[in-house]
Structure formats: structure tokens, C-alpha cells
Chain A
């Protein structure tokens, strides 16, 4: 089984700390990530327009290139890449006419798209392949006394055909937090939409969502959130600036990529550069808990 890693653009820019921490974590767990060559943007969001195949090409081209590079599966960290690649693959493979058109169009690639490469999210690899017991054995600095809310958003669990866990009541991320010695807290708004791209055209919509989601987490006792999507992270972390301005009684909360906390628990050094990519400074909380 040959696994490739599909980064996606945001992991190379605004979410560099997501990639860095994941790379280091996987190294420690004995499954280093191998980046595929010549990848392009995944297409950003799965298009539900059924007759505009142009919008599926980016995803399919990535999968085809991965196929040609001999990968049986592509591992993604970004929930959005996971969702987009996986849905595009199903959409094209399940329709002979679409498959033929897309292959005709991509005649410059080395071969035709067959759909032999699976798309898998890193969380599934951690749970099913490496297993949480194994990870637990490697924890050297447990997240003792740290109450973490797992924010799933929509893309990991919807539509249900590609959900990485129960699509209405997932527990995979809370289990991971428990594995790391912390306390995974279930809070009501963990599957609510964060407002996604409304953040660009209707910023206020996401500000309101952020307010509701973070308050919901705080009321349930969370001290920080984890996510696996750069867009959720942007809305929940960066948008706390506007949220604080709009709602005066709002109190802020750090937002992590789940791999950052894994890195800490596995005894890796907290990288000072990661802090710069957070809007709400997570350092005071980590210090308070004696984690850095």
C-alpha cells in the first residue's frame, strides 16, 4: 500500500503550522507523510452544478496524477480537500458519460483516469491504521486537565456517504483528545456550519456564527477548540477579532489544528512560528497547563 500526502494550498500558506505539526507527528508515529508531486489546488469546493465538468477537473487531475505516481491512497489534512476530492471522484466515476468527457479533455496527461486512488482523511488513518491505543503508548506529555471541544464543521461528516465517522454524532476527534490525555468535551454547536465562504461576502454572518459556536463551547466547559479545516480555523480564530468588537461581553478562545496538540502530547517541541499563525494567542493557555 503506497500512501501519498495531498497538502492543498492553504497548508502551504496560512495553515503552515497544520502541515508542520502533522508531518512531525506522523514521523514520530512511524508513518511519515510523502507529498505527491505536481499537485494542484483541489478545486476548493465541490461544485454541485452537474453539467459544468470544468469545475471537477482540478480534483480529477490530482487523482489521476496520484494514480500515475503509483499511490493507492491520498491522505489529506484539510477537511475541504478531503470533501472536494472524494466527491469529485464519486461524481465522475459514477457516470460513464462524464468519465469519457473528462478523459477526452485531459488527453495531455499520461493516462486515462481510472479512479484507483482512494481519498482518506488523516483522522481515519490515525484511528483505523495507527490506532488510538498505539498513539496513547507514545504520549509523553499528556494534555492533563485540558478541556477541548472538537469542532467538526460540515466537511468531515457530510454528505453521509463520505463521513469519516457517524455523520450525526461523531466521536473520533473527542476520542483523539482523550487519547492524548485531555478531556474531549461534546458541545452542542460542534457540527454547525461556521459560515464558510460567507466570510468574504457577508462577514457579519460568520461573526455571528463564531459568537454562537464559541459561546456554545465555553458554556459546555471547553478551554480551546480543535479543527481540521483551514476555513473553519479562519472563521473561528481570525474572526474573533470582529466578534470581540461586535459583542462586548464575548471572551476569546484559542483554536488549534488537532495535530498541534498531538505534537505537544507526543513530546515534540512547540514551534514559536506556529504562534504567529494563530490570531488568539494559545501560549498563555498552554503555559497555564504546563504544556510548554
Chain B
């Protein structure tokens, strides 16, 4: 690290640490000496593992964000929420229809929504969470799937909901039903899945699992990314 980087003070679970200005919450945690085994994953804002609550200096408001995407500010108070033990019913998608009945049976809790919008306020992905819950209540499965598309399943909405709804799990059912029943089939995708099932990548994968870390790293950084 270059010398003379300005530092800011953050409070992690109530304890103060000096960390470099401009760090994300994840790098601040690691700089402060925490070894993260949960509450982190992709570090790219996609996996949803790093939901974090924070409060900024002088503000009363508890805010939420992804630790890998949120930059620390001086005086910030931080607590990570590594896991939300939310309800996750088991169902057989082949036995469901893409309509309101599926939700009445599997997520009847949805109908308790009082329209408070607390879930939308907390969502780090800026999703209109209440509106997708409401779309489900009126059986508009495709709309719910569309509105919830960017959900990374961090669980913050469920933590905050006064009606104890598990929005993000219901949303995944909506997207599954939409994908399976409401969207047109893609022949290309089907052909691709068949190819893979028949072992197209079997050899390459086996080779990869046998390589050492350095080789994998090299391959990762040398990979050819197509830009559109």
C-alpha cells in the first residue's frame, strides 16, 4: 500500500478501527484484521453474501448495503448479516401452475403484506420489493419475476418486514415459474444443455480439478473475455 493514504475511523460491532479512506466495507473489515469465512463471496456485487447494516456519522438512519460495494465513510458503524435463516419450503415445480394458487399454497404469508414499503426502502439492489410482493398477491407472476430480477437474495427485506414475509424466496418461485411456463422455449438453450449433459466439458473440468492453485489463477487472469 502506498504511504500517506488518508485514514478514516470506522466502528465494527462497536469497536473503533482506522482503515484507509476509499476502502469498501469488506476491505475495511479485512484491514482491521477480521478473517471472513462467511459474509463474503464474489466481491463483485453479485452473490448477495455480504449484506451489511451500517449507520453514518450523525445520522439516525440504519442503512443497508453490500459490503463489497459500499465505501466506508468516517465514523461509520458497521455490522454484517452473514445469513438469514428464512423459511424455504420444498416444492415440486412440475406440479405447480404459474398462477396465484401456487403462492396461496406455498407462500400464504404473502397475503399479510400491509403495503408499508419497508422492504423497498432497505433493498441494496434498489428493487421495488413491495411492488413485486403486490404483483404476486394479484397473480401477476411474470411482473413479479421481472421486478425481482436483480435480487441477490441478501435477505434484508425479510429481516425488516413487519408482516414476516420472505419476499426473496417467493420471488425465486416466481422466476422459476416464469422461466418454466411463461417464457418461450429457447431451442439453442435446449441444445446447449443436451451437449453439456452428454459430457462436452467433462475432460476439461477433470483437468481443472487436478491443477494447482497457481495454474488456475493464471488461466483465470489470461482468460479471453468477449466484449460486446
Contact = CB atoms under 8 A, between A and B. Distances in A.
Interface of A: 9, 12-13, 38, 40-41, 43, 54-55, 57-58, 61, 105-106, 108
A41 B117 contact: no
A-B pairs with lowest CB-CB distance, top 5? A58-B115, A9-B138, A40-B134, A12-B138, A13-B139
Do most interface residues of chain B lie in helix, strand or loop, or is the interface mixed?
loop
Interface of B: 100, 113-117, 120-121, 130-131, 134, 137-140, 162
A108 B138 contact: no
B116 A57 contact: yes
Contacts of B100: 13
17 contacts: A9-B137, A12-B140, A13-B100, A40-B115, A40-B131, A41-B115, A41-B134, A41-B138, A43-B114, A54-B114, A54-B116, A57-B117, A58-B114, A61-B117, A106-B117, A108-B117, A108-B121
Contacts of A58: 113-115
Contacts of B162: 54
A41 B137 contact: yes
Nearest to A42: B115
Given A12-B139, A105-B116, 4 more contacts: A13-B139, A41-B137, A57-B114, A57-B115
Nearest to B120: A108
Contacts of A54: 114, 116, 162
A47 B162 CA distance: 17
Q: B115, B117, B131 — which one has the most chain A CB atoms within 10 A of its CB?
A: B115
Nearest to A11: B138
A61 B137 CA distance: 17
Nearest to B116: A57
Given A38-B131, A108-B121, A13 B138 contact: yes
Q: B134, B138, B162 — which one has the most chain A CB atoms within 10 A of its CB?
A: B138
Contacts of B138: 9, 12-13, 41
Q: B100, B117, B120 — which one has the most chain A CB atoms within 10 A of its CB?
A: B117
B163 to A, nearest CB: 9
A139 to B, nearest CB: 33
Contacts of B139: 9, 12-13
Contacts of A9: 137-139
A289 to B, nearest CB: 33
A282 B100 CA distance: 25
Contacts of B113: 41, 58
Nearest to B113: A41
Nearest to A58: B115
Nearest to B117: A108
A105 B140 CA distance: 27
Nearest to B100: A13
B98 to A, nearest CB: 13
A108 B61 CA distance: 14
A190 to B, nearest CB: 30
Contacts of A41: 113, 115, 134, 137-138
A61 B115 contact: yes
Nearest to A61: B115
Contacts of B131: 38, 40
A40 B111 CA distance: 12
A43 B117 contact: no
Nearest to B162: A54
Contacts of B120: 108
Contacts of B115: 40-41, 43, 57-58, 61
Nearest to B99: A13
A58 B113 CA distance: 9
Contacts of B140: 12
